[in-house]
Structure 1
Amino acid sequence: MTLQPPAAPQVSAPGDGPAPLRLKLALPLALLAGVALLLALPPYDLWWLSPAGVALLGVATHRRRLRAGFGLGFLAGVVLFFPLLNWTSFAAGWAPWALLSLAEAVYVGLTGLATAWLSPMLDRRRYLWPPLLGLLWVTQEALRDRAPFGGFPWGRLAFSQGDAPSLRLAAYGGAPLVTFAVAAAGGCLAALLWQRPSRRGLGYLAALAALAVAPAALPLAGQGGTTKVVAIVQGNVPRLGLDFNAQRRAVLDNHAKATLQLAAEVKAGTQKQPDLVIWPENSSDIDPLLNQDAAQVIAGAADAIGAPILVGAVLRTDNPADIKNAGILWNPATGPDLDQTYIKQHPVPFAEYMPMRSVARLVSDKVDLVRNMLAGDHTGIIRTAGLTLGDVICFEVAYDGIVRDTVTGGAQILAVQTNNATFNAAEARQQLAMVRLRAVEHGRESLMASTVGVSAFVGTDGAVHDESGFNEASVMVRDMHLDGSRTLATRLGVWPEIAAVALTAVALAGAFLLRRNRRTSGNNGEEKAEAR
């Protein structure tokens, strides 16, 4: 059933062309768009709803005034981001959660505004619906991934496609290409909704099928022939919640005990000897470079397992107010290798450091619970005797450039050290979806090591192996392939996204010319009528 615009103008300005859908229909469509985009993402994983959400918002905002287009997009963004980011309220309370969700919703509002702005172009050439919606969503995500305060890329269309054929597109153009394909599929649906039944509709159906199904036939990067045994230790924490940091020695002991148990199984011949052991972020919230007791615990575990351990540690500085979030390679017998230490480059604003602290304190009395985390200045390349690891910490997996830099720097496998103890299983699964995309994008087998879950290994096809449960202790050991071939996405880097943003700018400028010509034609028509 096609949605036909009403015959008489509703809210369009004179000379602006046909009217949009009635507002009483557009409002529920915008709400449904937000619901569809939410349910496409983990933990729901109804990936096929992503194009539907894009289509519903496109139809709702088409031909509307700009402020109405923004309002409908903003409404869809609120429906999407408030439940999606609910886990942020567990640590910092409702105010930061609300502010972050509203800020993210603004970007979806801008997408609605841009769709309304492009209406003259979409009316003239309906076949532009797929590419233009694809470009708009890539551009929206490019902006949201960078601003403000370094951006927050959660909820990208690409992160909803873990089980979809379109995930394979990540190997050819990264997350931006996956987002483009998903939004372009939504554009096909939107064009069908506005198109009267005709042969042209068959073309949109064919394009939709190609975008949704054809990527399944794309080849992926081949696996390297060399393998190394890698172990993930998920030690768990005494209890969930922000106050787990007060029990930091118990957390460290949990990870050490699990590693000692693994060493006993290796000695008994029931488990493989690992070449590398990965502990998660915050597995030692006590600085092992300053605290001798913590150093002895880690050294005992490394000596027992007979392999280096990548320890997630919080490091103190000369300034008591400042800390660093680090991954430190701890070797058996010789201890920490300070040359193989990675400091998190992208601390999360309002969670790991507080921008405008004095202003933020007026909003929430929990501001001073947030310490000042200093950013690192180099890529997370960790070299061991057996392999070179690309290390990213927690939310950094959401940022394209940080992950890619490890691969171009020589990483043979990718590791995400994370601490989900202050969040919930939904947040952990959202993060794992990002790991899946990165594995395909760069042709590197990957893993996620969490304090409480979810921890898992991921193949270069995005398949998840040995997934742990949430809020439990777990140890996983797996042979990981090294040195997969470098993908086109890795070689292209940011250029596909730059191209999409540039084409979006051209399209917006083209719509400006169409709008100006329409106004000029309308004025000329009025002058001729008066002359007659």
Structure 2
Amino acid sequence: MPLRCLLALVGGLVLAAAFEPVGIAWLMPPAIAALVLSVRGLAPRRAWLPSLLFGIAFVYAVMVWMRAVGTDAWIAMCALEAAFFVPLGIGLSWSLRSRAWPVLAALWWVGIETLRSGFPFSGMPFGRLAYATADTPWADAIPWVGMVGASLLVALTGTTLAWLLLQVRTPTRRAYAVVAALAVVTVAPVLVQVPVEESGTATVAAVQGDVPGTGLNVPAVHREVTANHVRLTRELADAVEAGDEPQPDFVVWPENSTAVDPFLDTEIHAGIISASDAIGVPVIVGGMSNDPLDETQVLNQGIVYEPGLGSGDRYTKRHPVPYGEYIPFRGVSWMPSSYGRLTEVPRDMVRGTSLEPLRVGGIRVADAICFDVAYDEGIAGQVARGAELVTVQTSNAMFSRTGQLAQQFEISRLRALETGRWVVVAAINGISGVVRPDGTVVASVPARGQEVLVETVGLSTTTTPAVVLGVWPGRLALVFLLVHTLTVLIAYGRRRRGTRPGSAVMEQGVST
């Protein structure tokens, strides 16, 4: 058991290195193989331990950026996420008893990955295998099978590698056939790409205004932050008038470009209106608005400001961060809502529900705010409803010195592949960028940069198979977990009943 536990710990750290900021994607299959080999031959009552150790090493390493929120938050959140590897170990133990165990084991990984990405409190999707596949053949499968399908391909590659290592002494034709089949499935999307037709073009400006001082605390300097974005937009208007920059069709400001309600704060409202009127095109502002139904709650929104008209369409963030943007069970006696940094969340953020694209100067835009980009239903749901372009508004200011920025930007790149859309990312102090539908980055601004990106992007109404599939691959993965678990438990119950004392005598009596 000690060697198994050591193998699992090393495997978890190796898997974390596949993600940014290290970003060696090809480490994923050997890491998954290490997990499988560490639990192989163990009964379910023991298999959970090496799997848990794998999860601890992986989760704490890949999400070490949570320490920016607080060491206590990092420890608590990662402990919860690592706990999901306990049922994973049990499921792998069950799967390894079947001749088709490489497939079943890969399905268990994807099922648990899907479960922890949505539960509890919206889950934590960071660390999904698909999110480390940029610039690999696995990423080319995303337009066809979505993020869940890409994770399955990576997991299947890892479980197949484990199977091959067990066959190494006696290689068979079957082993060669399995490798060939997996290679075809992985490489086929590279050769047969989803055709994406361009229906038009637009010129978009993404403003990264930066946060004064350390760059970590937006609320402390929120007026300066808004002033930066107003100034840069007005400077862009001057450059357009001088002929130095093309006239954009619209401008994107990041999340928290105003940290107060722009409809109630006259100074902030006047600044936004002046910027919109100066540039003469719509501006999507990332702002905090009071909930009109409950003043004790707040909305994190992308608000379209039309020149000369004021506010128009709005997108409300669908996945507020628990304990960062709202406190679950606030008011319950045992919930320590006044503890530590929780005091910085005086009002709960309300979750948005609409999947209707924003109308921005005649263009239908799918918007996402910060962590929204990591969830499957938001962007794809808006694209399925006619969005021609994707924008991502994000702050991430407190994570400026961590690998979280790079991890989230990689997810934005993969969303471009998934939807067949150009993606424009506006971050408050990094990383902003413009991404083609094939995932390549046209232009970007690094962390702490202060710049306006002006790029001509394509528009499209093509619907990729991944968008058509939507959230169903994840749901089917969860159904697999349930069905396999019930099958094993029913079989176990039958065996128990068949081995009860006297059961053989009873059966013999019945037969006579």
TM-score, length basis structure 1? 0.88
Question: Where do residues 104-119 of structure 1 align in structure 2 (5 Å cutoff)?
Answer: 104-119=81-96
Per-residue Cα deviation, 1:317-341 (whole angstroms, up to 9, x for no partner)? 465542211111111122212xx01
- In the alignment, what sits opposite 2:222? 248
Tell me whether 1:161 sits opposite 2:133 in the alignment. yes
Could you say what secondary structure the match of 2:51 adopts?
A: helix
Question: Where do residues 205-224 of structure 1 align in structure 2 (5 Å cutoff)?
Answer: 205-224=179-198
Q: Distance in 2 between matches of 1:158 and 1:248?
A: 35
* Distance change (3 Å), C-alpha of 1:336 and 1:254: same
Q: Distance in 1 between matches of 2:89 and 2:236?
A: 53
Could you say what secondary structure the match of 2:399 adopts?
A: coil
- In the alignment, what sits opposite 1:16? none
Contact 2:250/2:361, CA 8 A, preserved across alignment: no
AA of the residue aligned to 1:184: L
* Distance change (3 Å), C-alpha of 1:331 and 1:378: same
Question: Where do residues 108-187 of structure 1 align in structure 2 (5 Å cutoff)?
Answer: 108-121=85-98, 125=99, 128-187=100-159
Gapped regions of structure 2 (runs ≥ 5): 505-512
- In the alignment, what sits opposite 1:481? 458
Q: Tell me how far 1:160 sits from its aligned partner.
A: 0.8
Tell me whether 1:331 sits opposite 2:314 in the alignment. no
- In the alignment, what sits opposite 1:13? none
Tell me whether 1:290 sits opposite 2:267 in the alignment. no
Q: Distance in 1 between matches of 2:192 and 2:83?
A: 35
AA of the residue aligned to 1:377: T
Q: Distance in 1 between matches of 2:126 and 2:472?
A: 21
Per-residue Cα deviation, 1:62-81 (whole angstroms, up to 9, x for no partner)? 22122322121111111111
Q: Distance in 2 between matches of 1:66 and 1:133?
A: 14
Match of 1:454 among 412, 431, 447: 431
- In the alignment, what sits opposite 2:509? none
Q: Distance in 1 between matches of 2:335 and 2:406?
A: 30
- In the alignment, what sits opposite 1:383? 359
Could you say what secondary structure the match of 2:84 adopts?
A: helix
Q: Distance in 2 between matches of 1:285 and 1:380?
A: 24
Q: Tell me how far 1:120 sits from its aligned partner.
A: 1.8
AA of the residue aligned to 2:389: I
Q: Tell me how far 1:41 sits from its aligned partner.
A: 1.2
Question: Where do residues 14-413 of structure 1 align in structure 2 (5 Å cutoff)?
Answer: 23-91=1-69, 93-121=70-98, 125=99, 128-195=100-167, 196-199=169-172, 200-240=174-214, 243-317=217-291, 321-337=296-312, 340-357=313-330, 359-361=334-336, 364-370=339-345, 371-379=347-355, 381-413=357-389
Per-residue Cα deviation, 1:186-225 (whole angstroms, up to 9, x for no partner)? 1111101222422233234324433544432231231313
Q: Tell me how far 1:273 sits from its aligned partner.
A: 0.6
Q: Tell me how far 1:39 sits from its aligned partner.
A: 0.9
Tell me whether 1:419 sits opposite 2:389 in the alignment. no
Q: Tell me how far 1:118 sits from its aligned partner.
A: 2.2
Per-residue Cα deviation, 1:341-378 (whole angstroms, up to 9, x for no partner)? 11212211111001134544289422111231122232
AA of the residue aligned to 2:79: L
Per-residue Cα deviation, 1:291-335 (whole angstroms, up to 9, x for no partner)? 111111111111111111000001134655422111111111222
Q: Distance in 2 between matches of 1:362 and 1:341?
A: 30
Q: Tell me how far 1:479 sits from its aligned partner.
A: 1.1
Q: Distance in 2 between matches of 1:451 and 1:360?
A: 32
Q: Tell me how far 1:245 sits from its aligned partner.
A: 0.7
Contact 2:387/2:461, CA 8 A, preserved across alignment: no
Q: Distance in 2 between matches of 1:498 and 1:310?
A: 33
Q: Distance in 2 between matches of 1:58 and 1:363?
A: 43
Q: Tell me how far 1:175 sits from its aligned partner.
A: 0.7
AA of the residue aligned to 1:383: R
Q: Tell me how far 1:434 sits from its aligned partner.
A: 1.4
Contact 1:132/1:504, CA 8 A, preserved across alignment: no
Q: Tell me how far 1:152 sits from its aligned partner.
A: 1.5
Per-residue Cα deviation, 1:448-477 (whole angstroms, up to 9, x for no partner)? 110001011111111122021111112111
- In the alignment, what sits opposite 1:19? none
Contact 1:120/1:511, CA 8 A, preserved across alignment: no
- In the alignment, what sits opposite 1:20? none
Q: Distance in 2 between matches of 1:506 and 1:374?
A: 34
Could you say what secondary structure the match of 2:78 adopts?
A: helix
Q: Tell me how far 1:24 sits from its aligned partner.
A: 2.9
Q: Tell me how far 1:380 sits from its aligned partner.
A: 5.2
Tell me whether 1:433 sits opposite 2:407 in the alignment. no
* Distance change (3 Å), C-alpha of 1:58 and 1:514: farther
- In the alignment, what sits opposite 1:18? none
Contact 1:221/1:484, CA 8 A, preserved across alignment: no
Contact 1:442/1:490, CA 8 A, preserved across alignment: yes
Contact 1:191/1:204, CA 8 A, preserved across alignment: no
Could you say what secondary structure the match of 1:225 adopts?
A: strand
Q: Percent identity?
A: 35
Contact 1:118/1:511, CA 8 A, preserved across alignment: no
Could you say what secondary structure the match of 1:465 adopts?
A: strand
Q: Distance in 1 between matches of 2:127 and 2:17?
A: 11
AA of the residue aligned to 2:57: V
Q: Tell me how far 1:111 sits from its aligned partner.
A: 1.2
Could you say what secondary structure the match of 2:86 adopts?
A: helix
Contact 1:236/1:473, CA 8 A, preserved across alignment: yes
Report the RMSD for the aligned CA atoms in angstroms. 2.3
Q: Distance in 1 between matches of 2:334 and 2:450?
A: 40
* Distance change (3 Å), C-alpha of 1:427 and 1:172: same
Tell me whether 1:471 sits opposite 2:448 in the alignment. yes
AA of the residue aligned to 1:210: V
Q: Tell me how far 1:238 sits from its aligned partner.
A: 0.3
